[in-house]
């Protein structure tokens, strides 16, 4: 029986991934996070509240080996500015997890959620697989180190790893501030409710986004990708949609109506633009491996709404 570990399983992405894995019913799933508000009763899922930087917790989780691991747990956004907390969660826990996972006789598939935060300004005219990562935050630095660890443990034959650089994932619950990209999700909630919102980017700015539905498809694909298809390089930028803010607003207007989106106002913030005003993205390597992005702004909006009943235009106030 296949055993799968999902860390960060109580988060926005983690909950959806555990649900998708449980629906496939292809083995035992161990879901872990610091805490779960109300873990759903899912057949084949065991829920563990653990700290991944605690050796005793790691020992409990790995009492039996895993065939597949998806490492989503991270400290980002405001929390990543707390140096010691970020280091413990993003670096110490990462290395402890890799040490526990190493199994040269049968290397487990290890899917690591990295971030486009590994890139920093000034960006070239377009970002592609040859663009040099230059992180300008502790979070981006931690993610880059994680990528290199996944690559090194894979080269040594201890795991069969792949690191995926995630863009902003939408639409997180209203009021969520755990990620610096939360304003992208807030655009959906404000449009649905007809509420005002200041967007800290210019209308002509592009930013990299992906619907949660598309991300879950990509994570499942990463788990199932045959080892022989993976090249020596083990870190890839997902083919995110580089959407203009004015195009995203227009797509929201086509769903919710002009009056609902009238309160979405672009007032660029220099600090936010340094991180989120991005350039065209060419993710040829990930695309060749079968990973996919949302095709355009309308497809993105439709995917988000289909997965979020609270964003349905029906009954919007």
Residues with catalytic annotation? 139
- Both structure tokens of 23: 């629906």
d(CA 222, CA 157): 18
Containing 213, the helix (H) or strand (E) segment is helix 212-224
User: For residue 46, what are the contacts with CB-CB under 8 A and spacing of at least 6?
Assistant: 28, 29, 30, 31
User: For residue 293, what are the contacts with CB-CB under 8 A and spacing of at least 6?
Assistant: 210, 214, 238, 239, 240, 241, 283
**CA nearest 245: which of 303, 314, 198?**
198
DSSP category for residue 127: B
Q: Say if residues 201 and 272 touch (Cβ distance below 8 Å).
A: yes
CA 87 to each of CA 16, 151, 302: distance values in angstroms, whole numbers, following the listed order: 26, 20, 37
């Amino acid at each position: 029986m296949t055993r799968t570990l999902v860390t960060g399983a109580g988060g926005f992405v983690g909950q959806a991934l555990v649900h998708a894995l449980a629906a496939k019913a292809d083995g035992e799933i161990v879901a872990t996070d610091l805490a779960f508000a109300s873990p759903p009763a899912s057949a084949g899922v065991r829920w563990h509240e653990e700290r991944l930087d605690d050796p005793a917790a790691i020992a409990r989780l790995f009492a039996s080996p895993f065939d597949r691991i998806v490492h989503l747990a991270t400290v980002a956004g405001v929390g990543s500015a707390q140096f010691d907390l970020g280091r413990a969660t993003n670096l110490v826990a990462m290395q402890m997890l890799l040490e526990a996972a190493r199994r040269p006789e049968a290397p487990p598939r290890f899917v690591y959620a990295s971030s486009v935060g590994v890139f920093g300004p000034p960006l070239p005219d377009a970002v592609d697989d040859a663009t040099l990562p230059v992180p300008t935050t502790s979070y981006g630095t931690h993610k880059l180190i994680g990528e290199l660890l996944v690559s090194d443990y894979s080269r040594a034959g201890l795991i069969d790893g792949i690191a995926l650089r995630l863009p902003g994932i939408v639409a997180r619950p209203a009021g969520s501030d755990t990620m610096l990209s939360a304003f992208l999700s807030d655009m959906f909630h404000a449009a649905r409710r007809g509420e005002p919102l200041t967007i800290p980017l210019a209308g002509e700015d592009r930013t990299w986004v992906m619907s949660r539905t598309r991300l879950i498809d990509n994570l499942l694909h990463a788990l199932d990708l045959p080892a022989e298809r993976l090249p020596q390089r083990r870190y890839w930028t997902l083919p995110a949609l580089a959407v203009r803010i004015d195009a995203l607003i227009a797509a929201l207007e086509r769903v919710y109506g002009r009056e609902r989106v009238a309160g979405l106002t672009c007032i660029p913030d220099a600090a936010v633009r340094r991180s989120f005003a991005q350039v065209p993205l060419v993710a040829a390597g990930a695309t060749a491996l079968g990973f996919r992005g949302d095709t355009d702004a309308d497809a993105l909006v439709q995917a988000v709404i289909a997965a979020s009943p609270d964003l349905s235009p029906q009954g919007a106030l």
